[in-house]
Amino acid sequence: MTDPAHIHVFPPDALPGIPADVESLLRSFGGPSWIEQRGHNHSRRRLVATLLHGNEPSGVRAVHAWLRSGRVPAVDTVFYIGSIRAALAPPGFAHRFLPGERDANRCYGLPADDVQGRTAGAFTDLFRRRRFEAVIDIHNTTGHNPVYGVGFGVDPARLRLTTLFGEWYMNSNLTLGTLVEMTSASCPSIAVETGRAGDRAADVAAWTGLERFLTLDDLGLDRSGDPPPLPADRVLNDPVRVSIAPQLTLAFGDAADPQIDLTLRADIDRHNFECIDAQTAIGWLRPGAQWPLVAHCADALEHSRDMFELRDGTLYTRRPMVPVMMTTDPGIARSDCLFYAMAPAAG
């Protein structure tokens, strides 16, 4: 039986015919796939990763459209398509990862003898055998967000990669075990959040940015003397990962649900990328329920009580913050996090 962690490698010109729909393409692969395509220039190579989460289809739809087009990229390119089994599980593009398995984008640099750990290790081996000039990893979000990039460090190269897709950049220093963390030591590497899964606008953003990434011969990665690619007020720093305390029940609504431990405002994701003031009400806690939030930043300390406070059953912010990737999906809030709280931008 084939190891589900095995990565199918398709050298240049070895990919079979591309079916008309993306689901058929994924079924033909069956599992994680590494697809090599020759470019006009063989002296450089780029990598596009996508579908690390099975419920985030915009990136793989864009890759499918590119492969069907028959076009040739500017430089040699690798396409890595990750969580294919999760994406194909009924009803399709509904599972971030399969029940009983780990998040496939939380395993890089964190060896483990499970499917996700072995797959991450196999990808890392393939990646380190080659030299890449840039990496993009295309994702969707579950809340309302503009298109933005996420990277480790602020430099012109990462900001220029971001501007292929959007106009916001999140500078992270958190250690989560992501593909972008692992690849960042080798070349400019960013994750791109193209918008809500299922929104046509997210598919368009993924395609538009991918086409630029593939067709531009010069991505401007070495233009350190040029003006900054993004203004300072579009670069967010110092993320704090805000999660729901274990064992609490969670819901989203316009008022407190007496049967639920923590009810958060149904429109909470509308504040993504907006600076919300101190003393902003974000939800309600059931009487007798435990403290509801956990917040960690790069120092690994727990900061939730410095950031939030509870008065008369209502949960408030203690200080200004910019939420990013705020979700209203209880499943995502539990399996990943509720949002990232960023320091207000400069400027």
- pLDDT per residue over 146-169, tens digit each? 999 999 999 999 999 999 999 999
pLDDT in tens, 83-93: 999 999 999 99
Over 50: is that where the pLDDT of 135 sits?
yes
Percentage above 90 pLDDT, the chain = 78
Percentage above 70 pLDDT, the chain = 98
Better pLDDT: 327 or 285: 285
* pLDDT attached to residue 143: 81
* pLDDT attached to residue 294: 95
Spatial contact of 139 and 192, defined as CB atoms under 8 Å apart: yes
Better pLDDT: 95 or 3: 95
Better pLDDT: 109 or 74: 74
What domains can you pick out in the chain, each with its CATH number? 8-230 (3.40.630.10), 236-343 (no CATH)
Better pLDDT: 216 or 347: 216
The predicted model gives 203-215 an average pLDDT of: 98
* pLDDT attached to residue 1: 41
**pLDDT band per the 50, 70, 90 thresholds, residue 346:** low
The span from the CA of 66 to the CA of 46, in Å, is: 15
DSSP 86: H
Better pLDDT: 299 or 48: 48
The span from the CA of 82 to the CA of 123, in Å, is: 10
The predicted model gives 208-215 an average pLDDT of: 98
The span from the CA of 229 to the CA of 224, in Å, is: 10
**pLDDT band per the 50, 70, 90 thresholds, residue 267:** confident
The span from the CA of 276 to the CA of 30, in Å, is: 44
Better pLDDT: 225 or 261: 261
**pLDDT band per the 50, 70, 90 thresholds, residue 2:** low
Better pLDDT: 180 or 326: 180
The predicted model gives 311-319 an average pLDDT of: 95
* pLDDT attached to residue 15: 85
**pLDDT band per the 50, 70, 90 thresholds, residue 268:** confident
Over 70: is that where the pLDDT of 345 sits?
no
Better pLDDT: 42 or 299: 42
Residue reference for tokens 């727990």? 302
215 closest CA partner among 88, 15, 37: 37
pLDDT in tens, 14-59: 887 899 999 999 999 989 999 999 999 999 999 999 999 999 999 9
The span from the CA of 159 to the CA of 169, in Å, is: 7
Better pLDDT: 228 or 138: 138
The span from the CA of 50 to the CA of 24, in Å, is: 17
Instruction: Record the tokens describing residue 64, joined without a space.
Output: 């499918």
Is the omega angle on the peptide bond into residue 239 within 30 degrees of 0, that is, cis? no
Phi-psi region of 26 (alpha: psi -120 to 50; beta: other; left: phi over 0): alpha
H/E run at residue 68? helix 58-69
Over 80: is that where the pLDDT of 141 sits?
yes
The span from the CA of 321 to the CA of 306, in Å, is: 12
pLDDT in tens, 320-342: 999 998 888 888 888 888 999 98
